[in-house]
Structure 1
Amino acid sequence: MATSELAGIDPVLGFALVGALGVGSQWLAWRMRMPAIVLMLLAGLIVGPVLGFLDPSRDFGDIMSPIIAIAVAIILFEGGLTLNFHSLSDASTGVRRLVVIGAPLGWLLSGLTLHYVAGLSWQTSAVFGGILIVTGPTVIAPLLRQARLRRRPAALLQWEAIVNDPVGALAAVLAFEVIMVLQTQAEAGAAVWEMIIGIVAASVMGVAAGYGVARAFRLAWVPEYMKVPVLFVVVLGVFAISDAVLHESGLLAVTLMGLWIANADLPSFTEIRRFKEHATVLLVSGVFILLAADMSRETLLAMNWRTLGFVVVLMLVARPVSVMASLAFSDVPWRERILVAFTGPRGVVLVAVAGLFGERLAAIGIEDGAQVSSLAFALVAASVVLHGFTLSPMARWLGLNAADRPGVLIVGGSRWSVALAKALQKMELPVIIADPNHSHLRSAREAGIETFFGDILSEVAEDRLDLVRYEQIVAATDNDAYNTLVATDLGPEYGRDNVYQLRRAKEQSTRHALPVTLGGRPFGPDDTYNKANARIIEGCEFRVTKLTEEFTLEKWRETHPDGTVLADLGTGNGALRFLGPKDEPRSGVGVRLLSITPARPERKDS
């Protein structure tokens, strides 16, 4: 038996290791408030080329490439599912320019950089330059989640990344077909005809599959429990058939399929999308670990000053020039242009497609095609690390982050809601009160509190509000059923630990009891709507107190024996933490407490 085979690990153990490293890196990044992509990259490099414990090409053999291809297809399909035209709104002009003008210009500048800086031949530069149009939805999504950008710049980056992925792959296909004609003396007409047929077939299959799935789901031809499995099978079928017609056209087909379904207004779309998001988290982390671990030490050591120069010029010159030129004379503000210009992370799609075309170029006699994989990995690693640590600070510097601290969305206008919102404003947190009843918002408007008139679950709210500014929700309307609906619907998106509601009036009744899967966490003293507002009428008030070395938590408790601490806010940029019945507030210096206490006697008399 060969030495490499002796050194290999069992494939099942290898897949388990990849899953544990991927999910573990994401969890650790969440705990440490670090970019998850950076930790996944480091984890893959450590178990791969550094320690030599995992070698995907050795351990998984011929199934390695199909696994990555299928994962990329599902990731792009899920990306297409996020592209609802309602979310585009005022970013449509910028996205159109980034695709129509920015992609060809980026192809040209990338090709020039590859030839003159990296030293590649014109053939390889043309193919790899097309692939570099791709900006990586697998990286953009985690970065946007971390940076909490405003809606329009986030939409620009997200749409560009997902739409340009198949565009970049097809640009590489086009360049490769031209090179094949020149290298092998094949007929140009046949190559062009094959290209046209492939693109048309991929587009037709993607749209037809999206239309067919949407129609089948709407007419109940597929039972609810089979919708996700059917969707997966159709995605894989469309991708495989399209790729058989023309290599890499499957990416276009699955993206168009996802885009069609996203705009079909399906009743079950939310559940489908959430499941796909969970699958994509696993796939993104797994593919990143695989690609990083698959790099050899020789490839890493072969990187030289040309590699560094290529990465620097592409990220700091080629990308900014193409973006600024494509957005010139548009309605996109200059701050957003700068952010988009200097934010172009690359991800798994780039490495996967680059590796494929590098092998094909080398197979037809273009020797420097073998360098494509190492250059692609160097660019991905550099862009992931750079943007992972700089996107949030740059967004704050340009004033494009939703908020320095995530705030609170209060659903329901009342005296109690206004009093709570005023206290949160004293803590310098973004706060908004939403209510479908205009008269319920009168006191909030008079108090200078931001309001939203309408249903918070409507598409209008999703389009008009920067919901990323808010991390926690308090459902506090006078309708207990609506509070439960809001908490249940928004729970998966915001995290069930961040969604609260006032206690239902009939909650203690066995006949009206609800399962724990419905509704949000109890808020504060666990008051009902009527009791909470009665407290305010009787003179109770929300109060913000900052702890010091002299005025400690124990001192506060002595001073306010009848008070209840509802939340605490740590120093720095920490988020507000609402406290449950068994939670203890933090007691460090600088911590601010949000409490509800009986009014002071002198205030009652005034």
Structure 2
Amino acid sequence: MEIPFNITLLIILTVACGIASQVVAAYLKVPAIVFLLLFGILVGKDGLGLIHPNLLGSGLEVIVSLFVALILFEGGLNLELRELGKVSGSIRNLVTIGTLVTLIGGGMAAHWLGEFPWPIAFLYASLVVVTGPTVVGPLLKQVSVDRKIATLLEGEGVLIDPVGAILAVLVLNIVLNEGADPVGLFRDLVVRLGMGTIIGAAGGWILGFSLKRAKFLSEELANLVVLAALWGMFGLAEEVRSESGLMTTVVAGIVVGAAEIPELRLIRRFKEQLTMLGVSVLFILLAADLSLASVVALGWGSVLTVLSLMFLVRPLNVLICTWNSQLNWRQKMFVSWVAPRGIVSASVSSLFAILLTQKGINGGDSIKALVFLTIIMTVFSQGLTARFVAQMLGITSSSATGAVIVGSNPLSRLIGQIFKDRGESVVLIDTNEDGCKQAQTEGLQAYKSSALDTNVLEEAGLESVGTFLAMTKNGEVNLVLAQRAAEEFKPPRVLAVYPKSPQEKNNNNKDKVQQAFTTELNLKSWNQYLSDKEVKLGETVLKQLGFEFQKTHLKEMIKSGQFIPLLLERQGSLQVLSATENWQPGDRIIYLLHDPKPKLLKRLSGSQKTTLTIERHPAVEQVPIPSVALETDSEKIPAK
């Protein structure tokens, strides 16, 4: 049967508008949902009238259900159980106690401020208890906050969606059947969540087991097998117990993600691409079907309802749920601010509006309009200000300090001492026992272990430090360690000492791992220089006047192989310099200069100690550096 042209055009325009929204959002570096809403309204029935979702009929519900299942599966797939364990108590409270707080607070606000009848008010509140990974995930990619906070918000967004969706269905049953038993409804909630969990856990384990054994599957076919299995589990759960499918997809995603499947990274990438397409299509369709007149008709009472949800209910929710957590007040404030509503609220409210209208109950369109008003206000206000709020509160990942350094050699210990003298935490990791003992002798914390052991990296505090630096004597090993650290822990700055042109083989990772110091570094030679005390340690400030000359001179010294810049201080933050760093006026650069004279003087004088001094070099202004102790096998050399 031939598909009507208008439906074909509807799908084409929907996908085109959705992808265009994603492109514009990526270019402007703002959450994509902002432009998805704008574009959807623009091409919808109250805009240009190009897209009419009602043409899809019952097919709209099918599209929404399948894409929401895919979105939640992808969210569960990306959850890190190790990270979740650190904030599990807060997530549990937000999904349970927090849901109740938002339900009661939102219902009271909608009744008293929005003047909705109690049943409709609580139905609205049940629809907005969710936050949603479709908004929170992209927002956190733009903002890059502390890893603990990101895990908390992502975990809440993924796990609360199925709970909120089932709760909304139960509240809808109360509205449609006034004599419904509350105890029975609560029992039904538990049964649906439990059934979804059992089917999701069993299906996810079978899928993970099959993918590990079926080595004959190509990458492309494995991706499609996962997609088919996901929708199969969702459909089975819906047949066994309606509305349990969303919980099934979340649990299945978590189980598959923890199954250590080969090439899991490729499966995640494929699901992320499908999720982006799903989010784009759903928001365009749902926003296009929104009546602006119904939103305007709500009046100022509904605006006050949303504001109370944002500034009263959410902060109270977070305060109660994180009372005994280890989060500080800045982190709690950010969690209180970031709670944008997403696709689950929009899709379920759209379906409820249709059901209420069919049952002859007034308020369906008003609820949909109020939910979309909530989405618009929370997404625009929180999505566009989250970066500023995170920076103001000082919880961005780029503000993290300290370092985890792999390899205990003279140069790595020198860098560790400089970090330590500034009061920042430093941990060294090495498989060589002598190197670890030397580091401990110099007052540095060291672990004798392989840096491939994630438990050791976790114990070293990699999830909360600002820098990971791999500088063993094997450059290829350094690159592998750095890539793994970037994928597993996502520290703000990941650097490694590796061969000059690994990009030819590692194009996919060059943005994650930076080459440390310079491309000219010979680690073995500089470690020998340090051991023989043939170096001078100094620092210079690049000034606006003569900046280009200074920079050019320093670059020429680097090429000579007798000078290496180690660290960069910019706006009070100390960082390990990368080979591609774009130097700026005002930067303070700490460097090492090869100078064999100290060793010669020591031999002539018979002295047992040599002091590193800072001498002036052409076009290099030198200023005092922090007190650093360089310790060799026989003596300690202070740099004044």
Calculate the TM-score normalised by the size of structure 2.
0.76
Residues 49 and 214 of structure 1: CA distance in aligned 2, closer, same or farther (over 3 Å): same
Q: How big is each residue's C-alpha offset from its partner over 1:483-512, in whole Å with a ceiling of 9 and x where there is no partner?
A: 24224545667999976543459x99xxxx
1:208 aligns with 2:202: yes
Paired residues for 1:386-401 under 5 Å: 386-395=381-390, 400-401=395-396
SS at match of 2:63: helix
Does the 8 A contact of 2:98 with 2:317 survive in 1? yes
Alignment match, 2:213:
219
Percent identical among aligned pairs is 26
Distance 1:95 1:188 in 2: 25
Distance 1:517 1:274 in 2: 13
Residue type of the alignment partner of 1:352: S
Distance 1:264 1:338 in 2: 35
1:349 aligns with 2:344: yes
Does the 8 A contact of 2:478 with 2:498 survive in 1? no
Residue type of the alignment partner of 1:169: A
Residue type of the alignment partner of 2:134: T
Residue type of the alignment partner of 1:202: G
1:113 aligns with 2:118: no
Residue type of the alignment partner of 1:120: F
SS at match of 2:545: coil
Distance 2:73 2:300 in 1: 37
Residue type of the alignment partner of 2:519: P
Q: How many residues align?
A: 588
CA RMSD across the alignment? 4.5
Measured after TM superposition, the shift of residue 554 of structure 1 is 0.6
Q: How big is each residue's C-alpha offset from its partner over 1:221-252, in whole Å with a ceiling of 9 and x where there is no partner?
A: 77353332211111111223333455532111
Measured after TM superposition, the shift of residue 472 of structure 1 is 6.6
Distance 1:497 1:101 in 2: 33
1:103 aligns with 2:99: yes
1:19 aligns with 2:19: yes
Alignment match, 2:77:
81
Pick aligned residue for 2:411 from 396, 412, 416: 416
Residue type of the alignment partner of 2:245: G
Calculate the TM-score normalised by the size of structure 1.
0.80
Measured after TM superposition, the shift of residue 102 of structure 1 is 1.9
Measured after TM superposition, the shift of residue 339 of structure 1 is 3.8
Does the 8 A contact of 1:128 with 1:372 survive in 2? yes
Q: How big is each residue's C-alpha offset from its partner over 1:101-147, in whole Å with a ceiling of 9 and x where there is no partner?
A: 22223212222222222222222223222222212122222333344
Does the 8 A contact of 1:124 with 1:366 survive in 2? no
Distance 1:428 1:456 in 2: 24
Alignment match, 1:479:
474
SS at match of 1:545: strand
Residues 494 and 96 of structure 1: CA distance in aligned 2, closer, same or farther (over 3 Å): closer
1:261 aligns with 2:261: no
Q: Answer with 379-388 or 50-59: which moved more.
A: 50-59
Distance 1:413 1:168 in 2: 51
Q: Answer with 185-194 or 204-213: which moved more.
A: 185-194
1:251 aligns with 2:246: yes
Does the 8 A contact of 2:465 with 2:491 survive in 1? no
Distance 2:273 2:566 in 1: 30
Residue type of the alignment partner of 2:235: A
Residues 192 and 61 of structure 1: CA distance in aligned 2, closer, same or farther (over 3 Å): same
Residues 577 and 333 of structure 1: CA distance in aligned 2, closer, same or farther (over 3 Å): closer
Residues 485 and 437 of structure 1: CA distance in aligned 2, closer, same or farther (over 3 Å): same
Q: Answer with 205-214 or 537-546: which moved more.
A: 537-546
Residue type of the alignment partner of 1:375: L
Residues 531 and 273 of structure 1: CA distance in aligned 2, closer, same or farther (over 3 Å): farther
Q: Answer with 108-117 or 426-435: which moved more.
A: 426-435
Distance 2:553 2:106 in 1: 67
Residue type of the alignment partner of 1:475: A
Residues 233 and 578 of structure 1: CA distance in aligned 2, closer, same or farther (over 3 Å): farther
Q: Answer with 293-302 or 65-74: which moved more.
A: 293-302
Residues 387 and 421 of structure 1: CA distance in aligned 2, closer, same or farther (over 3 Å): farther
Does the 8 A contact of 1:567 with 1:594 survive in 2? yes
Alignment match, 1:28:
28
Alignment match, 2:175:
179
Does the 8 A contact of 1:405 with 1:430 survive in 2? no
Paired residues for 1:2-401 under 5 Å: 11-29=11-29, 34-38=30-34, 40-42=36-38, 44-45=40-41, 52=48, 55=51, 57=53, 63-182=59-178, 198-199=192-193, 201-220=195-214, 223=217, 225=219, 226-328=221-323, 335-395=330-390, 400-401=395-396
Q: How big is each residue's C-alpha offset from its partner over 1:411-439, in whole Å with a ceiling of 9 and x where there is no partner?
A: 32322223445677899998764444454
Residues 13 and 328 of structure 1: CA distance in aligned 2, closer, same or farther (over 3 Å): closer
Residue type of the alignment partner of 2:230: V
Is the radius of gyration larger for structure 1 or structure 2? 2
Distance 2:45 2:464 in 1: 40
Measured after TM superposition, the shift of residue 211 of structure 1 is 2.0
Q: Answer with 518-527 or 164-173: which moved more.
A: 518-527
Measured after TM superposition, the shift of residue 399 of structure 1 is 5.3
SS at match of 1:417: helix
Measured after TM superposition, the shift of residue 383 of structure 1 is 1.6
Does the 8 A contact of 2:166 with 2:189 survive in 1? no
